Structures are given as structure tokens and as C-alpha cells.
Amino acid sequence: MPQELYFEDFYVGQKFHSIGGAKVTAEEIKEFGQKYDPQPFHLDEAAGEGSFFKGLAASGWLTAAIVMRLRVQNITVAGGMIGAGVEEMRWTLPVRPGDTIHTEIEVVGVRQSTSRKNYGVVRTRTLAFNQNNEVVLRSTVNFLAPLREE
Amino acid sequence: MPQELYFEDFYVGQKFHSIGGAKVTAEEIKEFGQKYDPQPFHLDEAAGEGSFFKGLAASGWLTAAIVMRLRVQNITVAGGMIGAGVEEMRWTLPVRPGDTIHTEIEVVGVRQSTSRKNYGVVRTRTLAFNQNNEVVLRSTVNFLAPLREE
């Protein structure tokens, strides 16, 4: 069992590297596309060829969802990771069938919550890379972590 | 067929209201949770009861994905809607099984792209509501739209 982390366990400069990676398949790209982002370049190779992406590409929201999975697999917050908002998210390169995504998450801020007295807010910068170590997504995301009970 | 929109068709103050809504089921919450956000409160009613959310709740990334579907269903950009980054996204209330989500999207900025000469950037504010007209998500998102060929 991984160690459950409380607010006091986080510090600026702390880094979390994903263990292993997430392989993205054409099937997953199309399934997610059909459900949540039904545009030709997320649904079909041939239709993708004639598009902006010049081929099948993952919805940016699929990439974001995969990054969330890597995040919860690699940072075990006591009671669960509760999102406290996205400050920025950029898709810097298309994610293609066969790509394998890994992440590097750095804590860039810690502060007590003003609205929830038993929680702190952890601010993180995430870089998601493909198998060639090219950045495909970068984001600044906040989550809540409970204060350790005295 | 909805009209295909080019950059020149967008203007500050323009609003797009989603037609119909997106019903969120417990099954979809759990399926998305298992795949992308495997935390107890996204997987199981009973486990959710004892959590921050006090019940089963949708992953914020599922809500974001549903909002993307409503977005592409209601704004038909010529050549497809290409995301150009998220400036902010906040989850303001949990989304529960049985909720129906609808959106209001307002154009808050239009500018030519500096890096892609045939495109403009459309800046939008999105509010996503549940069936009680409570805001569950708000975001500021940019997308590309092609310039109309002269």
C-alpha cells in the first residue's frame, strides 16, 4: 500500500514521476471520441488525414483524463484527491495511437484553505510526455489535501 | 446540417445555449471512474457515503468531457473545433447520478492567431448547469477557427 499523504507531507519542489506509462490505443481514442468529442479526427483514421491533425488524434480531454489517472496512481492523498480547479492547461502536441504517456508532477505551492479549515490546497505543475519525451500536455492544477489530525 | 462557422462569424457577446441536456447516470460515472479517476467516491455509492462528497459523484474530468460534447454539438466550427488551451476551469458543485447538464457558452474574445496565419483564436466562457440551474463547472477555454477564404 502506498503511503497516504496529508497536507503537511507536501512541499514546494516535491516531484512525482509516474511509474510506468499509459499506452493510448486507436480503439480508446475512437471510443472516447464517440462518447465525448465526436469530431472526425477523433473517430476515424481516413477522416483524420484530411484534417488539422493530419491523422487520428486523441481528444485533448482524453489526454487530460489519462493524466488524471496517472496523477491518482502516483499521489495517494488521504481520503482521495479532490480537485480544486485548473489554472491552466495546454495541449502542446497531438497524442497519437500507440503513444505512451508519462507524467512529471511538481508541487509549486502549498497553502491552508480559507474556506475549508481542515484542508490545505496543493498547487501542482504537470508535464505529460510521450515516449519520445516530447511534452504533449502541461497544466497547473490545484487539489485539496486534509490536515493531519493532531 | 448546422451552419459551419468561420473565425469571422464569432463576436464578443455571442452566446450558445446547449440544445437539450446530457443526463449523467451512475453507470457512466463508475465506468469513467474505473478508466480515468479510480477513487472510491467515483466508483461506489457506499464508499462515496463516507467521503468528502458524501455519495457517488462524477469525476470532474467526466464533467469536463460532457461539457466538451455539448460544446461540439452546439458550435460547429468549419474543419472541427481545435482546442487552444484552458485558461481556467472550476468544479463548483458535485455532479450526481441522475443530474442533467446543460451549458451556456459566451464568446469573450476574438483575435487572429500569431502562430497560425489561417486561423483565429476564439476565447469562450462556459457555464455548465445541473437541472436545478446550479453551476457545476465554469471555464475559460480557447479554440481555433479558420479564417474564411477570400
Structural domains of chain A, with CATH: 7-146 (3.10.129.10)
Query: pLDDT class for B3, splitting at 50, 70, 90?
Result: confident
Q: Please judge whether A65 and B61 are an interchain contact, meaning their C-beta atoms are less than 8 angstroms apart.
A: yes
**pLDDT tens digit sequence for B37-71:** 999 999 999 989 989 999 999 999 999 999 999 99
Q: Please judge whether B39 and A80 are an interchain contact, meaning their C-beta atoms are less than 8 angstroms apart.
A: yes
Instruction: Please state the rounded mean pLDDT for residues A91-99.
Output: 97
Query: pLDDT class for B149, splitting at 50, 70, 90?
Result: confident
Q: How far is CA A132 from CA A49, A60, B9, in A?
A: 22, 18, 39
Determine the pLDDT at residue A44.
93
Virtual torsion, Cα A48, B110, B76, B119, nearest 10 deg: -30
Determine the pLDDT at residue B20.
84
Angle in degrees, CA B44, B49, B51, rounded to 5: 95
Above 70 in pLDDT, residue A2? no
How large a percentage of chain B has pLDDT more than 70? 98
- A residues 64-123 closer than 8 Å to B (CB): 64-66, 68-69, 72-73, 79-83, 85-91
**pLDDT tens digit sequence for A8-63:** 999 999 999 998 899 999 999 999 999 999 999 999 999 899 899 999 999 999 99
Question: Cα(B140)–Cα(B108) distance, rounded to whole angstroms?
Answer: 9
Q: Please judge whether B65 and A39 are an interchain contact, meaning their C-beta atoms are less than 8 angstroms apart.
A: no
Determine the pLDDT at residue A145.
96
pTM score of the predicted model: 0.96
Q: Phi/psi of residue B102, each to 5°?
A: -135, 165
Among A37, A69, A89, the residue with its CB nearest the CB of B72 is A37
Question: Cα(A132)–Cα(A127) distance, rounded to whole angstroms?
Answer: 13
Tell me, yes or no, if A7 comes closer than 8 A to chain B by beta carbon. no
Q: How far is CA B113 from CA A9, B34, B122, in A?
A: 42, 38, 9
Residues in chain B, overall count: 150
Above 70 in pLDDT, residue A1? no
Determine the pLDDT at residue B102.
98
**Three cell numbers at A87?**
489554472
Distance of alpha carbon A13 from the chain centroid: 18
Question: Cα(B99)–Cα(B97) distance, rounded to whole angstroms?
Answer: 6
Average pLDDT of chain B, as a whole number:
95
Partners of residue B111 on adjacent β-strands: B121
Q: 3-class SS at A119?
A: strand
Instruction: Please state the rounded mean pLDDT for residues B89-99.
Output: 97
Question: Cα(B87)–Cα(B65) distance, rounded to whole angstroms?
Answer: 16
Q: Which H or E element spans position B67? A: helix B60-74
Average pLDDT of chain A, as a whole number:
95
Question: Cα(A31)–Cα(B141) distance, rounded to whole angstroms?
Answer: 23
Q: Please judge whether A64 and B64 are an interchain contact, meaning their C-beta atoms are less than 8 angstroms apart.
A: yes
